[in-house]
């Protein structure tokens, strides 16, 4: 393409060079500028989080089970409870959402085909990705938490809310991956007399597994960073809670949110430390997802 | 046998009627299982609408149409939510005005300017914006960005103080935590999705259209305005609408930087409030009609975003179908 654009400039038979070329250059410069505009806030945020968080994080900060009160100075306690909570809740949410999402994608791509119901499900999954995360929190609050009173607040409720958020993402990404599986694989298995369920489970899904895992990891990264669905479902706890099914729990985003607007130096510092930890977790998930995609990409084609 | 080879491979073998009677139980139950998982999406959406509305009924019945008035005063049992709807609209508008040109610029850069091997790292960088959690944007926004912006706001406000139009928009009062700050943060957050969707749309422009424009002697910019834009206009509008939906529903970052003041004012540098932020900030300490009111704002937010998303996806899909047909 570059060669094509270069051509008329060299030829300069009709190229007036003046205003048209200037306009083209201005437009190109603006496009490059818009990318620069995107990098600046990203760099600014990452720099601040690393600069302010690096001195806070450390082994004892990560492992200390009890979150100190917001007025406590830095050095007392740590965010272990929030890390454990995040891992528990996000893992449980994934256990709920990933299998259901993959099955939903199997329905859309393998069974539904072009049928109207499959098209509706696909369309509504797209729409559901746009439902605000806070609405998911309100939803789980009104369908689950209110029926159990104060016992309703638990890691499980938070996991339900996150699972609602993840479900449509997993469905759409898995469906895209199932689409890439060549039909010859399916036809070959049918020719051997396999049932459709068997073909799906032993041929189609394994062929698409790389993409499915990578899509699921991106959904997990998204869920791990979400605060709003957790606000009304896990209540927030100060101490370590290993039981994800019972009792108030806490999570990294939740902790950051409650520390963010506190005028106490210790709380603020813990917020930055937790933010660095959370960003690290999300980035690692994303990088792993990319690696998985790269690893399986050849197989998928 | 011939039936197996002839059917559309996307709906293979087992689903032809004659065979289905002989299908083993496991096979059929697997199909039902997948169908149930697919339908779950619809079930959840319907349940969201029903359960949240139920929790909000006392607000709708107690306030009636007064839910759309501008007086939110939980202490005096007044729950008019107009200020929040206004704040949602204003912050989303600011976000779109800033994010859309940038996103389209990056999308064009990726598809029309840089070679593919450069495009990939650029995509990664833009996607990183989406990986930064909302709450981290909020933390950075309130502790670092807002204080910094406040200086800029102050100098702008003193500059435009008496000017008509600009004065009421950018004059005093000024606060770092404001509509405008929330709008900027939202712009950062919606840029990745608007970029990636616009890019997908622009990538579908047939090479022959572009080559035709070049063959006529068009510059790259003329090719973009003449060949790419007419083709992808509709899809880009869809992408922008999806960005709008995101901007309206994004909660935590906004809750931290918007300033938490339920007011309807033209002053963009003044503290405000929007729907998701007030729910996030006040739900915990609410009860009775107050809580129902917040739940009701959630219902309104759900309805708004669903409408916008349905329209947006419809626009994108129709555009994609039409272009494929052409």
Read off the DSSP letter of residue A68: P
Q: How far is A65 from chain B (nearest CA, A)?
A: 22
**Which CATH architecture group holds A81-300?**
Orthogonal Bundle (1.10)
**Predicted confidence (pLDDT) at residue A114 exceeds the cutoff of 90:** no
pLDDT-derived band at B87, boundaries 50, 70, 90: very high
Mean pLDDT taken over chain B:
87
Could you report the per-residue pLDDT of A196-238, keeping only the tens digit for each? 999 999 999 999 998 899 999 999 999 999 999 999 898 888 8
- Predicted pLDDT at A299: 52
In whole angstroms, how large is the CA radius of gyration of chain B? 25
Is the model more confident about B2 or about A93?
Answer: A93
**Predicted confidence (pLDDT) at residue B299 exceeds the cutoff of 80:** yes
- Predicted pLDDT at A43: 94
B209-221 mean pLDDT: 90
- Best to test chain B binding among A197, A205, A276, A286 (most B CBs inside 10 Å): A197
Whether A3 contacts chain B with CB within 8 A: no
pLDDT-derived band at A16, boundaries 50, 70, 90: low
Could you give the C-alpha distances from B322 to A245, A274, B124, B316, B325, in angstroms and in order?
49, 48, 30, 10, 5
Is there a contact between A275 and A53 (Cβ–Cβ < 8 Å)?
Answer: yes
- Predicted pLDDT at B91: 95
Q: How far apart are CA A56 and CA A53, in angstroms?
A: 5
Cβ partners under 8 Å of residue B25, min gap 6:
none
**Predicted confidence (pLDDT) at residue A2 exceeds the cutoff of 70:** no
- Predicted pLDDT at A297: 62
Taking CA–CA distances from A224, the nearest residue in chain B reads B133
Could you report the per-residue pLDDT of A23-56, keeping only the tens digit for each? 889 999 999 999 999 999 999 999 999 999 998 8
- Predicted pLDDT at A170: 96
- Predicted pLDDT at B6: 43
- Predicted pLDDT at B21: 55
pLDDT-derived band at B62, boundaries 50, 70, 90: confident
Calculate ∠ Cα B147-B152-B157, nearest 5°.
120
Q: How far is A56 from chain B (nearest CA, A)?
A: 15
pLDDT-derived band at A301, boundaries 50, 70, 90: very low
- Predicted pLDDT at A200: 92
pLDDT-derived band at B326, boundaries 50, 70, 90: very low
Is the model more confident about A151 or about A26?
Answer: A26
**Predicted confidence (pLDDT) at residue A294 exceeds the cutoff of 80:** no
Can you say whether the dihedral through the CA atoms of B16, B17, B19, B24 is positive or negative?
Answer: positive
Whether B168 contacts chain A with CB within 8 A: no
Under an 8 A CB cutoff, do B105 and A33 touch?
yes
Under an 8 A CB cutoff, do A225 and B132 touch?
yes
- Predicted pLDDT at A156: 93
Most confident range, picked from A90-94, B7-11, B16-20: A90-94
Q: How far is B159 from chain A (nearest CA, A)?
A: 25
Could you report the per-residue pLDDT of B234-285, keeping only the tens digit for each? 889 999 999 999 999 999 999 999 988 888 888 889 999 999 999 999 998 8
Under an 8 A CB cutoff, do B35 and A107 touch?
yes
- Predicted pLDDT at B265: 87
pLDDT-derived band at A11, boundaries 50, 70, 90: very low
Nearest to A139 among B52, B220, B248 (CB): B52
Is there a contact between A145 and A121 (Cβ–Cβ < 8 Å)?
Answer: no
A155-177 mean pLDDT: 94
**Predicted confidence (pLDDT) at residue B10 exceeds the cutoff of 50:** no
pLDDT-derived band at A263, boundaries 50, 70, 90: confident
pTM above 0.95, yes or no: no
- Predicted pLDDT at B231: 87
- H/E/C letters for each residue in A159-215? HHHHHHHHHHHHHHHHHHHHHHCCHHHHHHHHHCCCCHHHHHHHHHHHHHHHHHHHH
Paired strand residues for B78: B73
Calculate ∠ Cα A281-A287-A293, nearest 5°.
135
B55-59 mean pLDDT: 90
Could you report the per-residue pLDDT of A116-133, keeping only the tens digit for each? 999 999 999 999 999 999
Whether B313 contacts chain A with CB within 8 A: yes
Q: Lowest mean pLDDT: which of A13-22, A86-95, B96-105, B118-127? A: A13-22
- Predicted pLDDT at B317: 80
Under an 8 A CB cutoff, do A257 and B52 touch?
no
In whole angstroms, how large is the CA radius of gyration of chain A? 25
- CB-CB neighbors (< 8 A) of A118 in chain B: 38
Q: Please, which residues 79-98 of chain A have a Cβ atom closer than 8 Å to chain B? A: none
Q: How far apart are CA B260 and CA B281, in angstroms?
A: 8
- Output the six-digit token pair for B227: 């060949």
Q: How far is A13 from chain B (nearest CA, A)?
A: 10
- CB-CB neighbors (< 8 A) of A44 in chain B: 140, 144-145
Domain residue extents for chain A: 81-300
Under an 8 A CB cutoff, do B109 and A8 touch?
no
Could you report the per-residue pLDDT of B156-183, keeping only the tens digit for each? 888 887 777 787 778 777 888 999 999 9
Q: Please, which residues 94-113 of chain B have a Cβ atom closer than 8 Å to chain A? A: 101-106, 108-109, 112-113
**Predicted confidence (pLDDT) at residue B11 exceeds the cutoff of 70:** no
ipTM of the complex: 0.89
């Amino acid at each position: 393409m570059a060669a094509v654009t270069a051509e008329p400039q060299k030829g300069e038979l009709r190229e007036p060079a003046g205003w048209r070329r200037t306009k083209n250059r201005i437009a190109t410069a603006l496009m490059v500028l818009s990318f620069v505009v995107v990098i600046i806030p990203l760099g600014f945020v990452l720099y601040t989080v690393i600069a302010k968080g690096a001195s806070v994080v450390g082994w004892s900060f990560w492992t200390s089970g009890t979150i100190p009160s917001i007025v406590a100075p830095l050095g007392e306690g740590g965010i272990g409870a929030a890390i454990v909570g995040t891992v528990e809740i996000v893992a449980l949410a994934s256990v709920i959402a990933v299998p259901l999402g993959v099955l939903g994608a199997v329905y859309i791509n393998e069974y539904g085909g072009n049928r109207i119901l499959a098209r509706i499900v696909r369309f509504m999954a797209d729409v559901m990705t746009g439902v605000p995360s806070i609405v998911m929190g309100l939803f789980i609050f009104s369908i689950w938490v209110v029926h159990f009173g104060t016992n309703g607040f638990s890691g499980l409720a938070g996991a339900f809310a996150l699972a609602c958020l993840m479900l449509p993402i997993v469905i759409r990404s898995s469906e895209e991956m199932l689409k890439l599986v060549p039909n010859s694989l399916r036809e070959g298995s049918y020719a051997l007399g396999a049932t459709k369920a068997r073909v799906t489970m032993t041929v189609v899904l394994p062929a698409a597994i790389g993409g499915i895992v990578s899509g699921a990891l991106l959904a997990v990264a998204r869920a791990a960073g979400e605060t709003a669905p957790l606000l009304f479902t896990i209540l927030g706890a100060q101490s370590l809670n290993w039981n994800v099914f019972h009792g108030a729990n806490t999570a990294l985003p939740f902790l950051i949110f409650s520390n963010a607007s506190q005028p106490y130096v210790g709380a603020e510092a813990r917020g930055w430390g937790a933010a660095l930890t959370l960003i690290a977790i999300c980035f690692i998930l994303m990088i792993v997802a990319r690696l998985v995609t790269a690893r399986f990409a050849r197989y998928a084609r | 046998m011939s039936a197996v080879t002839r059917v559309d491979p996307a709906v293979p073998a087992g689903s032809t009627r004659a065979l289905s009677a002989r299908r083993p139980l496991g096979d059929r139950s697997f199909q039902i299982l997948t169908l149930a998982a697919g339908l779950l999406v619809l079930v959840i959406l319907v349940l969201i609408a029903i359960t949240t509305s139920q929790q909000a009924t006392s607000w709708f019945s107690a306030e009636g149409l007064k839910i759309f008035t501008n007086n939110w005063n939980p202490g005096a049992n007044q729950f008019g939510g107009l200020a929040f709807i206004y704040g949602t609209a204003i912050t989303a508008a600011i976000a779109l005005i800033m994010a859309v040109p940038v996103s389209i610029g990056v999308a064009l850069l990726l598809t029309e300017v840089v070679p593919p091997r450069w495009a990939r790292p650029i995509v990664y960088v833009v996607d990183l914006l989406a990986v930064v959690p909302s709450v981290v944007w909020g933390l950075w926004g309130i502790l670092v960005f807002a204080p910094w912006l406040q200086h800029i706001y102050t100098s702008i406000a003193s500059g435009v103080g008496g000017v008509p139009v600009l004065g009421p928009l950018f004059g005093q009062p000024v606060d770092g935590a404001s509509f405008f700050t929330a709008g900027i943060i939202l712009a950062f957050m919606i840029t990745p999705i608007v970029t990636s969707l616009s890019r997908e749309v622009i990538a579908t422009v047939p090479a022959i259209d572009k080559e035709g424009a070049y063959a006529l002697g068009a510059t790259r910019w003329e090719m973009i305005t003449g060949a790419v834009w007419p083709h992808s206009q509709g899809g880009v509008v869809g992408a922008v609408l999806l960005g709008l939906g995101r901007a309206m529903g994004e909660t935590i970052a906004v809750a931290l930087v918007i300033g938490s003041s339920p007011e309807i004012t033209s002053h963009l540098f003044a503290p405000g409030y929007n729907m998701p932020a007030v729910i996030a900030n006040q739900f915990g300490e609410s009860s009775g009609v107050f809580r129902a009111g917040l739940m009701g704002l959630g219902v309104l937010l759900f309805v708004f975003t669903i409408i916008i998303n349905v329209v947006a996806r419809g626009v994108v899909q129709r555009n994609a179908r039409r272009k494929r047909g052409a």
